[in-house]
């Protein structure tokens, strides 16, 4: 939690649940990532947090943008981004969305199937396209692999076909999975991409870009490798496989840029044992899986939690949200402890919640309004 | 799909994704449930679908309401419900919510812990209270058990304590899990409740109510037992255990009342194989787990899907939503087949989606607006 967020929470005591994001911290994270990967063009993954103050700050820093939908493209343009700096990075796009994006000047599109490629050729003629490869997501805490990406053999055919369709066969992409803890995953994927680039070059098709995706991890409860380690590993792998003929390198960070810049302030609604003295206490917060903390599904992302009683005696807890839904349990198997003094009405802070929280929030499940957001 | 919904979709071709609910069907379902359990007071579980036209129709039919939050209580009152007909049915309530409910005249509250009981005693003095028991959810497709309910021993103490606190110790509740396919689950729970009622009666505390919860199943892709079977089983079990001294019986149906009354109309965004000829086709819709179909988590609820090509040749598919999130896969392991002729741009209908869809929808994940709703 940054000093600015601590001060804001102390001074304002904003109604809970709410998300507070320090936009200066967003800038620091952007600069640090750019320092770790100086050759990479940063396309911020808008889906991580599309709030206007974040997009505007990133525009001012020269960031580019990875948009998942026409609506996200619109948000980027409204925040001052140029269409030249936007990648339409969803492999699944409605025709109407491609048409709208093309009309405002977006010229960079991803695909991973023949059907999508043909849509792009028809509704965004002449655009740059890149093909997403299926790669291993081993090591990622929020894996993505099964839904996206095609095989090397298929990508090869599709890139050649893209040229025949009058598109600009620009490059290849992959995604090693979100909150990826292992730099090896990038190295393995780069090797795979490089081999296909070499192969296509032999047929006279020179690709000029490699999109390394995102997935760079941040600290939740446990330490993660520093971003410089990922930078070094990626740089070494790119040099090893491409030598002096380095292609353009794109990255699509979301969590790394905004995750650590945000804090959710919540209220304890109930602490109880419900008649089971041998079990953990159950702590119910006024935010849960359907109020924005969707990445706690399967207890995948384990947020660090601060309370006003930190330092006192602690014991095991299960942690759940405020709805009547039995699935609205955040942590039951993960070894969480919280202070024995914790009681209903206390405020708690969930750290590093700037990414993938505000937009996952349900419209009104169980009647609870979406969490409010403060950008400071 | 009711004829009225078919007609509406054909005539209006509403923008997708959208939910269309036939409010007359809601009425039919209410009447049928009342017929199957004539002695039960129906408290509609507002969380299933809190839309104003549904609440108003149910008010006109004499329904009562099970509210999960102060906001849901407000919706019921706005739709014309009397505070006497509202149960605040969430075992986890903010003090401010109890205060607000008490101020407008709500006098029926659930609890499952000492801490919550003390909150109710303080902020809703003299109210009727009932204690939720933990029961087995075996047989439910959307189980609820771990988060709610206390032990029989604890419930006994708490009900006696409720009297000491000046509350009206009114009854006991349980929930056998949502989309519960086995009537046995109710019978076992009723036996458990009856034994505690008898035990408390011996100490001079006569409980007057048993809340049987909800969970009554509806047909998705497979047949389920008819509601009359549940009615008969519940009636037999109540008579067996309580004899002539039948307590008031409350039920809290949500899915049963509104589920079958709704249809989601969606668009196919992409059908692809992504280079894997041996695997299923992947069908991407413009609605997925974060657009409202949250109950497809773990492939728990398997909706029946209709297309304009039904009757033609079919083959295996995986079905996913439109976002860039790898978790946004609805069906990959469940054996779904769809017509080979299905293509991007086609409309499909997901049947029996009237419950637990509109409110689970995320505010704007990946930029996609919440689905629109039509009540006809």
Measured between alpha carbons, how far is B234 from B183 in angstroms, rounded to an integer? 8
Reply yes or no on whether the pLDDT at A35 is more than 70.
yes
- Per-residue pLDDT, averaged over A107-115, amounts to 97
Domain shared by B232 and B287, yes or no: no
Structural domain ending residue among the three candidates A237, A253, A269: A253
Give yes or no for B65 touching A (CB within 8 A). no
Do B311 and B240 fall within a single domain? no
Instruction: Decide if A324 is catalytic.
Output: yes
The reported pLDDT for the residue numbered B252 is: 97
Percentage of chain A exceeding pLDDT 90:
90
Give the pLDDT confidence score for residue B308 in this predicted structure.
Answer: 96
Task: For residues B82 and B185, state if they share a domain.
Answer: yes
Last residue of a domain, one of A196, A230, A253: A253
Structural domain includes residue B39: no
Write down the ipTM of this complex.
0.94
Chain A CB within 8 Å of residue B3 CB: no
Calculated CA dihedral for residues A89, A93, A97, A100, nearest 10 degrees: 50
Alpha-helix residue ranges (DSSP H) falling in chain A: 3-12, 23-36, 52-60, 70-78, 95-103, 114-123, 152-164, 183-202, 227-242, 255-258
* One domain, residues A201 and A271: no
* Position B77 in a domain: yes
Kindly list the averaged pLDDT for each block of 10 residues, start to end, along chain B of length 376.
97 98 98 97 98 98 98 98 98 98 98 97 98 83 77 95 98 92 91 96 97 95 95 96 94 97 98 81 96 94 97 96 94 95 97 96 92 97
Within this chain, do residues B159 and B265 fall inside the same structural domain, yes or no? no
Please check whether residue B99 touches A, CB under 8 A.
Answer: no
Chain B residues with CB under 8 Å of A112 CB are: 272, 274
Is A325 in Cβ contact with B366 (below 8 Å)?
no
Domain assignment present for residue B277? The answer is: yes
What is the SS3 assignment for A249? strand
Domain containing residue B199: CATH number: 3.20.20.10
The one catalytic residue in A76, A235, A324, A361 is: A324
Q: Which two tokens stand for residue A7?
A: 């001060």
Task: Clarify whether residues A270 and A215 are in a common domain.
Answer: no
pLDDT, residue A145, reads 61
Please report whether residue A275 resides in a domain: yes
For residues A59 and A84, give the distance between their C-alpha atoms in angstroms, rounded to a whole number.
12
Whether A123 and A202 share a structural domain = yes
A138 pLDDT band, cuts 50/70/90, is confident
Residue A211's pLDDT is what? 98
Q: Mind listing the pLDDT tens digit for each residue in A366-375?
A: 999 999 999 9
Residues B161 and B276 in one domain: no
**B352 and B216 housed in the same domain:** no
Q: Please check whether residues A307 and A246 belong to one and the same domain.
A: no
What integer pLDDT is reported at residue A178 of this predicted model? 86
pLDDT for B69: 98
Q: Output the six-digit token pair for B33.
A: 């449930």
Kindly list the residues from chain B whose CB atom is less than 8 angstroms away from the CB atom of residue A344.
95, 115, 119
Q: How many domains does chain A have?
A: 2
Confidence of residue A136 (pLDDT cuts 50, 70, 90): confident
pLDDT at B143: 65
Model confidence pLDDT, tens digit, residues A67-103: 999 999 999 999 999 999 999 999 999 999 999 999 9
Judge: B147–A326 Cβ closer than 8 Å, yes or no: yes
Q: Which of B232, B253, B274 is the last residue of a domain?
A: B253
User: Residue B24 is encoded by which pair of tokens?
Assistant: 């007359």
Q: What residues in A contact B151, CB-CB < 8 Å?
A: 274-276
> A249 and A306 share a domain?
no
Q: Domain of A142?
A: 50-253
Answer yes or no: is B22 within a domain: no
A285/B contact by beta carbon, under 8 A: no
In a domain, A264, yes or no: yes
């Amino acid at each position: 939690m940054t000093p600015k967020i601590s001060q804001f929470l102390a001074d304002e005591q904003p109604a809970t649940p709410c998300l507070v994001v320090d936009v200066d911290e967003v800038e620091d994270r952007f600069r640090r990532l750019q320092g770790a990967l100086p050759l990479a063009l940063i396309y911020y993954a808008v889906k991580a947090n599309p709030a206007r103050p974040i997009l505007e700050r990133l525009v001012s820093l020269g960031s580019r943008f990875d948009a998942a939908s026409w609506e996200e493209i619109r948000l980027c343009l409204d925040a001052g981004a140029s269409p030249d700096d936007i990648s339409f990075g969803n492999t699944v796009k409605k025709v109407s969305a491609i048409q709208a994006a093309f009309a405002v000047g977006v010229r960079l599109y991803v695909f991973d199937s023949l059907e999508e490629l043909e849509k792009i050729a028809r509704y965004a003629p002449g655009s740059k396209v890149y093909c997403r490869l299926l790669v291993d997501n081993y090591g990622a805490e929020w894996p993505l692999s099964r839904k996206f990406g095609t095989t090397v053999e298929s990508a090869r055919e599709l890139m050649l076909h893209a040229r025949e369709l009058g598109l600009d066969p620009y490059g290849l992409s992959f995604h090693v999975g979100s909150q990826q803890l292992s730099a090896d995953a990038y190295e393995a994927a780069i090797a795979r991409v490089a081999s296909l680039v070499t192969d296509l070059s032999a047929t006279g098709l020179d690709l000029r870009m490699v999109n390394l995706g995102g997935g760079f991890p941040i600290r939740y409860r446990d330490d993660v490798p520093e971003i410089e380690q990922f930078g070094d590993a990626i740089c070494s792998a790119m040099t090893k496989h491409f030598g002096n003929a380095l292609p353009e390198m794109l990255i699509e960070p979301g969590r790394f840029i905004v995750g650590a810049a945000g804090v959710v302030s919540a209220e304890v609604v109930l602490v109880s044992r419900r008649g089971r003295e041998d079990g953990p206490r159950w702590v119910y917060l006024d935010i849960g899986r359907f109020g924005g903390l969707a990445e706690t599904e399967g207890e995948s992302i384990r947020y660090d939690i601060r309370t006003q009683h930190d330092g006192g005696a602690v014991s095991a807890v299960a942690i759940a949200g405020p709805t009547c839904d039995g699935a609205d349990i955040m942590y039951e198997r993960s070894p969480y402890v919280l202070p024995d003094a914790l009681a209903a009405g206390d405020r708690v802070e969930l750290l590093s919640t700037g990414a993938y929280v505000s937009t996952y929030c349900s419209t009104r499940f169980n009647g609870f309004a979406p969490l409010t957001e403060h950008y400071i």
